[in-house]
Chain A
Amino acid sequence: MSKGRAGATRWLKVHMGILFAFLYLPLVVLVVLSFNDARRSVVSWQGFSTRWYGEVFDDPQILASLGTTLVIAAVATGLSVVFGTLLALGLERHTRSSVLDSAVYFPILVPDIVTGIALLSFYSLIQFTLGTRSIMIAHSVWGIAFAAAIVRTRLRGFDRSIEEASLDLGVKEIGTFLRITLPVILPGIISAALVVFTLSVDEFVIAYFTAGRTVTFPIQVYSMIRFGVTPEINAVATLMLAFSMLLIVLALYLNRPRQSAQATFLEEVAA
């Protein structure tokens, strides 16, 4: 590694550190305030208490709303990634229109309130029952746009000759896609999934209008504004953070570098 590269890496690491500090600073406050002994304030500190964590586990509705939110996000992400990847492939390889290129961003241009109200009216018109499914569909509408745009970044300059070679060798199209194309676009799919999932989990306006009686976590929280958002919400958020961090650590541990089978064999032979 050249000296310049090592220096650059060091600055990059500093940059990452500052970015993470920026991203997590309000979370420190959020976690601290989950221990706030105040009935309806998450903005001023009034003493230490762990009672909100107790409240979370006594409150089936809040946990249910969280569960609903995660399920909706998962399905919306799945739909978005599948439709979006297809769309990206089609736009990159089979169309030449600038209009269609830009059409991929169209759902993102529509203001939330318009999408929400429009879908509510539309669902009522076609008598589609409102509930988790109506929200999943609503979220997939903009999710496809995000997914397609992100996956498409992986397709620029993709060397088709490898795919053609695979086809010439007799591998069917679907096999070629899974074995050749997919690994290359996978980082795009992962990015897209992370983006859509995150946006769906925290989305309020569209979910509110298309939810019917369903309560998602954002709907629950926004509904509490009128009489005070309680630190119970901070407690739920803290638990989610803790749980996710645990998963990350677990994933890192399971993926830790291990000796390859060949290396182990060679060691035994040498001994």
Chain B
Amino acid sequence: MSPGAETLHPEVSAPWRPLGRSRLGRLTIAPAFAWWAFFLLAPIGLVLASSFFRRGAFGGVEYVFTWDNYVRAIDPLYLRVLWYSVRIALLTTAICLVVGYPAAYFIATRSSARLRNALLVLVILPFWTNFLIRTYSWIVLLNREGVINKSLQSIGLTDGPLPLLYNDFAITLGLVYGYIPLMVLPLYAALERLNPEVREAAEDLGSRPARILRTVTIPLIVPGIVAGCVFVFVPSLGNFPVPQLLGGGRKIMMGNLINSQFLEARDWPFGSTLALMLMLILMGLLIVQSRVLRRGREIGIDV
């Protein structure tokens, strides 16, 4: 039986009959969670707990319990930064999805097995250089006297230099550039299971490509889309060098804000508060997303 055919009936493969004894199965998640409990939860718990205390006179932590940090965190100044960050991160994610999906699709279904891995590596290869000099290279390309402007002017497409740098355009471009592989690779992993025979079978039976996309392809690759979007949205939200270098420091995002509290203000309590609130919001969104998808599967809607 080809691996493709059965994928139309995910309920057949419902995981409710575990391999071997169920206790053994549950143990598979233990190593990762134990690792995280020790090397993630404990350390950041200690730091984020300082959000309930006060900054000491010279930057340490004064163990006097207070809610002040949380009250301060909802100041419009910070909410404005959050809103700006969300807008930019959403735009970045949308662009990465639109640009990344066809690429992942091509690599997964239209390239030979031999070329597939090479293409994947080529997509990610630029990011084995260094972020800073890649960003400097973008500055060389985008600035007013830069390569792109000079070229456009010399071939007569524009009269004067376009403002390609130190604005929202440059920030979005920088973020899309940096995170596109994180959209392509998870999508590829999901799409690669899409056996071409299945789709061709559907095509032969008369289904139009758009309908195939909706009823066959997308339900299967939803986990890939979710992963890709999370991988792009979350780091975009917390990115700090791109707004600083490509945005000319004219705008700040959540990453800059949290950084400046920890490093400039040396206010670990307040920085922790901002970080914690951001994390809780994101976690909440993720749980809602997961619940919606699981509910959908349980009641038979193929998502």
Contact = CB atoms under 8 A, between A and B. Distances in A.
- Is there a contact between chains A and B in the complex with CB atoms less than 8 Å apart? yes
Contacts of B1: 159, 162
Contacts of B117: 190, 251
Contacts of A93: 15, 18-19, 25
B230 A94 contact: no
Interface in A187-211: 187-188, 190-192, 194-195, 198, 201-202, 204
Contacts of B182: 195
B189 A114 contact: no
Interface in B120-150: 120-134, 136-141, 147
Most buried by A among B15, B33, B255, B262: B15
A23 B126 contact: yes
A130 to B, nearest CB: 13
Interface in B261-277: 262-263, 268, 271-272, 275
B196 to A, nearest CB: 9
B156 interface: no
Contact of A107 (B36, B121, B262): B36
B278 interface: yes
A91 B1 CA distance: 26
A12 interface: yes
B164 interface: no
Interface in A218-237: 218, 221-222, 225, 229, 233-234, 237
B36 A144 contact: yes
A89 interface: yes
Nearest to B25: A94
B67 interface: no
Contact of B220 (A15, A91, A112, A157): A157
A83 B54 CA distance: 38
B299 interface: no
A166 B180 CA distance: 39
Binding site secondary structure of chain B: helix
Contact of A194 (B120, B177, B271): B120
A182 interface: no
Contacts of A161: 6, 12-13
B74 interface: no
Nearest to B120: A194
Contact of A114 (B26, B44, B193, B230): B44
B286 A90 contact: no
Interface string B103-127: 1011000100011011111111111
Contact of B227 (A22, A102, A150, A187): A150
B43 A121 contact: yes
Interface in A100-115: 100-103, 105-115
Contact of B141 (A8, A26, A121): A26
A221 B283 contact: no
A217 B130 contact: yes
A158 interface: yes
B146 to A, nearest CB: 9
Contacts of A201: 127-128
Nearest to B239: A112
A105 B283 CA distance: 8
A157 B11 CA distance: 8
A195 B178 CA distance: 12
Interface stretch (A51-59, A241-249, A260-268): A241-249
Given A15-B102, A188-B189, A237-B130, A106 B136 contact: no
B194 to A, nearest CB: 11
A256 B122 CA distance: 18
B248 interface: no
B66 interface: no
Interface string A129-172: 00000000110110010101111111011111111100100000
A122 interface: yes
A19 B127 CA distance: 14
Given A141-B40, A167-B19, A256-B114, A113 B263 contact: yes
A16 B271 CA distance: 41
Contact of A87 (B32, B141, B221): B32
B258 interface: yes
Given A98-B291, A194-B120, A244 B234 contact: no
24 contacts: A19-B103, A23-B177, A27-B129, A30-B133, A92-B15, A98-B294, A101-B286, A102-B283, A106-B283, A111-B255, A114-B44, A118-B44, A122-B46, A150-B185, A156-B223, A157-B10, A160-B13, A160-B15, A160-B19, A164-B19, A195-B181, A229-B132, A234-B133, A252-B118
Interface of A: 2, 4-5, 8-9, 12-13, 15-16, 19-20, 22-27, 29-30, 33, 42-44, 83-84, 86-87, 89-96, 98-103, 105-115, 117-119, 121-122, 125, 137-138, 140-141, 144, 146, 148-154, 156-164, 167, 173, 176, 184, 187-188, 190-192, 194-195, 198, 201-202, 204, 217-218, 221-222, 225, 229, 233-234, 237, 240-241, 244-245, 248, 251-252, 255-257
Given A87-B33, A161-B12, A201-B128, 4 more contacts: A113-B259, A152-B227, A160-B19, A252-B115
